[in-house]
Amino acid sequence: MKVSYHGHSVVMIETNGKKIMIDPFISGNGNTDLQVENLEVDVILLTHGHDDHVGDTVTLANQNNALVIAPFELATFLGWQGVENIHPMHLGGAHEFEFGRVKLTQAFHGSSYAFEEEKKIVYTGMPAGILFTAEGKTIYHAGDTGLFGDMKWIGERNAIDVAFLPIGDNFTMGPEDAEIAAEWLQAKKVVPIHYNTFPLINQDGKKFTESLSNNQGLYLEVGQHFEL
């Protein structure tokens, strides 16, 4: 299994012959190495409805006939935007796909899509984290969230090989709370995400990974990958 990080919260997983992308915020993201027009993806997993996570989902789904997996309200909203291949889920639910198992966890954040010209915000349901399991490995993408106590339970119930945790602060956990989350989750490796895209969330990702005990931190440059 090949896993790569592409800035902000964008993660690509390649497994079982499929390319699976989480939160494909590419256009307007000055901190990514990807280009929408030549990007191939088979599956898109979404944590919540904010534009810096939904990003280029509609374009990518339509140009690749990609399957979009999202919380129910967000999935419904994207169907209205022209996405045809959709699998809705909700928090606590899991589903076994041909490429791996997806389970949605809670996340403490918001979830909405803003139409700025119309000054309208559309509610897109509850935000989520994602547990993805394939080839005997489990990846946890926390999405946008603050620290919450049930991260202990997620760590106890799942043997997490790598956890992607937001550290940007202001909108999500900052580094201090993410350190606690890393301890509770008991993941073998922890990768920081959701930082340095905008001035409000500037953080030192390398410093964060070095602060974690037991060689748990894994710092990735944008575009860098590792094998699980």
Q: Is residue 208 included in any domain, yes or no?
A: yes
* pLDDT (0 to 100) of residue 150: 97
Cβ neighbours, 10 Å, residue 127:
25
In a domain, 228, yes or no: no
Whichever domain contains 178, its CATH number is 3.60.15.10
- Is the alpha carbon torsion for 197, 200, 201, 203 positive or negative? positive
The predicted pLDDT at position 156 comes to 98
- Which tokens go with 72? 């129910």
Of 45, 134, 56, 150, whose CA–CA distance to 88 is shortest?
45
Question: Residue 56: what residue type?
Answer: D
Residue 10 lies in a domain: yes
Cα-based distances in Å from 143 to 8, 172, 204, 218: 11, 9, 19, 17
Question: What is the per-residue pLDDT for 117?
Answer: 93
* Residue 71: per-residue pLDDT: 98
Backbone angles phi, psi at 149, to 5 degrees: -60, -30
| Residue 174 lies inside a defined structural domain of this protein | yes
**pLDDT for the residue 136:** 97
How many domains are contained in the chain?
1
Q: pLDDT tens, 101-121?
A: 999 999 999 999 999 999 999
- Residue 165: inside a domain, yes or no? yes
Lookup: tokens for 118: 């119309």
14-24 exposure pattern, b = at least 16 Cβ within 10 A, e = fewer:
bbeebbbbbbb
CA-based torsion, 116, 203, 33, 218: positive or negative: negative
| Domain boundaries, position 165 | 2-223
| pLDDT at residue number 36 | 97
For the chain, list residues with pLDDT below 70.
none
Report which secondary-structure segment, H or E, holds 180.
Answer: helix 175-185
pTM above 0.95, yes or no: yes
Of 13, 19, 25, 12, whose CA–CA distance to 56 is shortest? Answer: 25
Residue 12: both structure tokens together: 């690509």
Cross-strand bridge partners of residue 192: 165
The reply to whether 148 falls in a domain is yes
Kindly report the CA angle at 75 between 2 and 24, in degrees rounded to 5?
35
pLDDT at 96: 98
Answer whether residue 133 is part of any domain: yes
In a domain, 58, yes or no: yes
